[in-house]
Each structure stands twice: as structure tokens, then as C-alpha cells.
Chains A and B, each alone.
Chain A
Amino acid sequence: MKIINLHTNEEVEAIIEPIQIQDYKAIKSSKEFEFNWKAYKDKEVYKLRLEETSAILGLICIVPYPDKGYQFLHIEAVEVGKPNKGKKKKLDKIAGCLIAFAGRQSFITGCTGVIMLVAKTEVANLYHSKYGFQFIGSMGTLGERMVSDYYNTNELIKKYLG
């Protein structure tokens, strides 16, 4: 998969792989991530890095529910490292690649391409406009429930991982 270096406008090869136990220390010492990722150490957490370096650029925690009657994958958290957030970010498409990866895992694990998540209103609006997630119900101040069905998920995979 490729992410974009916004300084040079060039595509850079990136990799998403399972997090290793020693990564938690690096995440904390880098001070580039705000979330407490150690709290997810018993769940499926993946990191995105450039092919040529070991520095972690983004993280995602997913929980597949493959049993019949469920068959959806829940994204519990996504975080892009500070240097690549906001107007001054250096690299683009990190979150897109992580979300598309979660979608691909949804197919692979028998969750039929369905992704669910709960996000605060501002982020939810962004996920709706940028990633095609649909609103399926509000949880009030806690956030919005959102879904990506297989067709939208496959579009994300084609766009970010293709």
C-alpha cells in the first residue's frame, strides 16, 4: 500500500502489521500518540509504518465478531501520530489505509466486509464524508454509531490498498 509524502508529493510504500510487545514502549517514548494503547494489548492491534523504517505512524484496534447473527468488525480505536495530523502533516492517507485494512480483515475473518464504530460527532461527520460510513443511531454525548457495508468497504480497499 502507498501513502503520500506531502512535501515531495511522492507515493511511499507502507506496511501494516500486528503490533509487537516491544512497540508499546516505543509508542510511549515517541510521545506522538495520545491514546493509551497499552490498554488494548489483549486485542488485535496493528501498526502502520514505512517499509524502510520502523517508526510507527498510525495504529488501529479491531475486534471481529464473526459468529452467525453478528458478522461485523468493530473498530475500537484509530490514531495517526502527531507529525501527520492537522494542517502541517507530512504524510497523508495513514488513517485511510488503516480503515481499509480493517475492512479487508472484515472480509478475511468472516465479518463479510461490514465495519462498525462509535465516534464523536465531529469525527463521525468526517468518517461519513471522507470514508462513506453511514449513521445508524446516536448515543447522545457518547457519539454516533456508524457502519460501512461491504460495497463501501470494498471501495475503501480499492482506493487505499489497491
Chain B
Amino acid sequence: MKLSKKLTRNSPIEINESFISPELTQAQKEETILSFRQYRQKIELQRSAKDKLIVQLLQLKYLMEDYLSASSHNEAYSFGFFLKEYIERQNKKNKDFANEIDIDPSLLSQIIHSHRKPSEEFIIRLELHSNKNFPAIIWYKLLEKEKEQEIMNDLEIRNLQKKHVKRKLEFSF
């Protein structure tokens, strides 16, 4: 028996929330996608500039969350990268944004380009600027993820510190 027939025989309670798209002919599929597309365009026209900004920022926040929960590290996804996205999605210039959070534009530029680490105060200002939509902890975790990579892969610091360790355990687990 076809699944769609099985489903029609069930009561709404038995069906619960499960559903499957109906089997459509190619023409019906195209018509459905076209109708979705037309409705989508209608929604687009109704969206205000604020709606569009919210959508952009929600996307950014979910991308940040997913990156943080992933076990892999991506060098391109630095603190500076996400900060730049946060500013650009609001159609702001770095200079104007620096002014809004009361920091020197050159410091902002250094942070964006990963030439300088942001302070706790800077991260708190980001939380406040975003009206807590981007909590300080999400920015802090980005930094922490970067630091994790640095500390795992920094051979230079290991070579430099070797001479200070006068005695060590003689076994490995």
C-alpha cells in the first residue's frame, strides 16, 4: 500500500506530527516550487530593513554557534572574521562602529586583522552593543578556540620553555 494512502487512513492523533510530501509529477513539482518562490518574493517585499538585519544577524549567530560546537578548527573563522561580519552586516564602517563602542579605530582594525587580542572590556562592549543578542560568552569562546589551537601547535614556545624545565616525569601514559 502506498504510504500516502496509509496516512490518509489514520486519524490525526495517530498521524501525529509525521508527514511526507505527496508524490508529484514533474509538472506539479515545478508548480509547487514556483508557488513557494512567488510567496517567498511576496514575503521579501513585506520585510523591513530591520527584519532583513535581524535575519542577517541570526544567521551570523547560528554560524558562530555551529563553529564553536564543531570539533574542527578553521583558521579563517577567527574572532576578527566574525567581528568584521558583525559590523558589515549592519552596513557600518569600522570607524563608525569604533565610535559606537568608544574605542580607537586603529585598535579595532588590529583586532579584526588578528594583530591584537581583544580585552574583556571590549567583549563586554560587544555584548552591550548587540543588546545581548550576541552574549559576551560567545565572543569569549571564539577567543578560547583560537587559543586552544595556538597552544596545541606552537612549537616555538615549547622550544623556548624547554630550558626552564629542569626535571620532568620519566614516563608517558
Contact = CB atoms under 8 A, between A and B. Distances in A.
Interface of A: 34-36, 65, 69-72, 74, 76-80, 85-87, 89, 95-96, 99, 104, 107-108, 110, 112-114, 116-120, 122-123, 125-127, 130, 136-137, 139, 142-143, 145, 147, 149-151, 154
A108 B59 contact: yes
Contact of B66 (A77, A95, A108): A108
B131 interface: no
A52 to B, nearest CB: 18
A85 B22 contact: no
Given A136-B35, A142-B28, 4 more contacts: A120-B4, A136-B39, A147-B39, A150-B58
Given A85-B14, A116-B36, A142-B24, A108 B63 contact: yes
19 contacts: A65-B33, A69-B37, A70-B37, A76-B20, A77-B20, A79-B20, A95-B17, A107-B55, A114-B40, A117-B21, A118-B32, A123-B17, A126-B17, A130-B17, A136-B35, A139-B22, A139-B32, A143-B22, A150-B55
A154 B133 CA distance: 13
B2 to A, nearest CB: 10
Nearest to B51: A150
A114 B43 contact: yes
Most chain A beta carbons < 10 A, residue from B6, B19, B33: B19
